[in-house]
Chain A
Amino acid sequence: MKGKESFKTAGLVVALLLFMWALYMIFIFVPTEATMGISQRIFYFHVPLAWLGLLGYTLVFFGSIMYLWKRRSGWDNFSSSAAELGFIFTTLFLISGSLWAKPAWGVWWTWTPRLTTALILWFIYIAYLTVRFYASEKQQGARFGAVVGIVGFVDVPIIAISTSLWRSEHPGALVFQGGLTPEMTFGLMVSIAAFTVLFVYFLAIRTSLKQQEMEVERLRELVEQDQ
């Protein structure tokens, strides 16, 4: 237990240091993009958030398969925690996209393939969380969640293809023409690393919190049965 705790604290410290570095990179180190100016810097938040949304659902998928196979509630706690986090980061991705769209295109929302895919993924996260919420008991919720976790995951690539096919007929604005300078790529990598470590840290905390909740519940049952 003690080793686990210090491991978590280390995770938090690493995340903190990486974030300080990332902030330095984003606001001081990387050059300002030529056509979009300062607002392009939101890109260094926007991309990692998208990555975490996808990473989250990939972990949900993995945890779901493991749960249906092994039937250990630990796997269910893992995938439901990943879903909660993935949902939050996908929400932040949609918000950051919206904030970026306003200065870039003058509108709060634009149906680019990526934003559209993310929006649908966001709805799939909601579906996953909804089905757990409305299940008549916990194990059933875990099972149903796993089913949505698996079906939703295999659907994501098809959604991505369909939205890009859909938009290719009505070409929308590209993100930016020039591509990334090496400094920009480096800054982006640091930011992605910082966000990923934060995600893993949150995931570990949330999963173990759920484990503890279950343990409390189990002990309470035991006490009630003995009375």
Chain B
Amino acid sequence: MYKIINTEEIGPKIKSYEIYAPNIAKNAKVGQFVILRINDTGERIPLTIAGTNLEKGLVKIIFQEVGKTTMQLASLSAGECIKDFMGPLGYPTEIKKYGTLVSVAGGVGVAGVVPVIKELKNVGNKIITIVGARCKDLIILKDELRQQSDSIFFATNDGTYGIKGYVTDILKEVINKEKIDIVYAIGPVAMMKSVSEITRSKNIKTIVSLNPIMVDGTGMCGACRVTINDETKFACVDGPEFDASLVNWEELISRLGLFKNLEEIAINKFKHNQGCNCCKK
């Protein structure tokens, strides 16, 4: 059992938890993820490690309520436990000096970007950050992003914060103004795909962190397979980071929707059970 030590609501339906898992906290590196399962009937889902507290043995996860499992996770309080919490999994981000780096973060992707740019800044990279969300409220970790960035730009779909538009609008401008050595992007697949299209045409190396459906997360099942440069790779053991220009995006988008109907059933059942107290949990 893995105890939830702190919970914090950092945005609408977006929560940050710290979980007591000292072994993971000790060995985790930026860019890696965990697999968790809430209880005996739960499913296994991957979440990016958003930070660690080595002294206290804590691992931070940040998640948005989008499916049944994240909704159920959000209903837990500090002091309650998660049944299974395993990691750190996947290859860590390669931390080295590139020069000028643009980090592009969309939605809760910000949670994965913050620890990465912190490390990359530490080794002397200049960090330009571009953040996108549907509206102002959905921009999370603003202070942390500012702190780790040499310059920062915001885009919202409705214009409530930063420019009205998309991260790609800003990215194009940044690329035109300045020589960029590398781009690092985490966010919705459609965003990462658009970023990749822009940078590929300019020959700028771009790293993305992919989030396909996973089951075991250790290489055993192949649910998370993605096509990279026409070859089948497993995001859990070969990734989760890949060269964006080599990713088959259409396939990834399609595979993410594989169980849409069934996910809907699970969500409805969960919401129904939440309505009354007799069958809660």
**Are both chains from one complex?**
no
> A residues near B, CB below 8 A?
none
